[in-house]
Amino acid sequence: MTTLGKTLKEARELIPLTLRQVEDAIGISNAYLSQLENDKIKKPSADVLYKLASLYHIDLDTLLAASGIINKGAPKKNKLLNTVALSAESITEEEEKELLSYLKHIRFSKKQE
């Protein structure tokens, strides 16, 4: 099961942003963000989740469901996967992890150039 913390960390790393950059962008301390990503804080406010969803370009309902604030069943697939030619419903959880890992690799490689 994907936790809120894991969802937030993966979304932040895909952009990619550091905790400090997120703090500067939306005014949430990097210590608080770290606690969120490590699942030390289970139910942040909807306002915090709204700011993070906006910055990370992910659906707010995904974060609200992952935090248990709303019950929407399984959180939606990453917005990125919904835009690829493949149907997001046909991608297994393992394939999604591999695609996200590969995307992180590509972005890291470009950053090093």
Determine the Cα–Cα distance for residues 64 and 72; give it in Å rounded to an integer: 9
Domain that holds residue 29: 4-112
Of 60, 58, 39, give the one whose Cα is nearest residue 48: 60
What local confidence, expressed as pLDDT, does residue 89 receive?
A: 52
Domain count, the chain: 1
What local confidence, expressed as pLDDT, does residue 21 receive?
A: 95
What local confidence, expressed as pLDDT, does residue 49 receive?
A: 94
The CATH number given to whatever domain includes residue 96 is: 1.10.260.40
Tens digit of pLDDT per residue, the chain (113 long)? 678 999 999 999 988 899 999 999 999 999 999 999 999 998 899 899 999 999 998 889 889 888 888 876 544 455 554 444 444 456 677 877 888 888 887 877 776 66
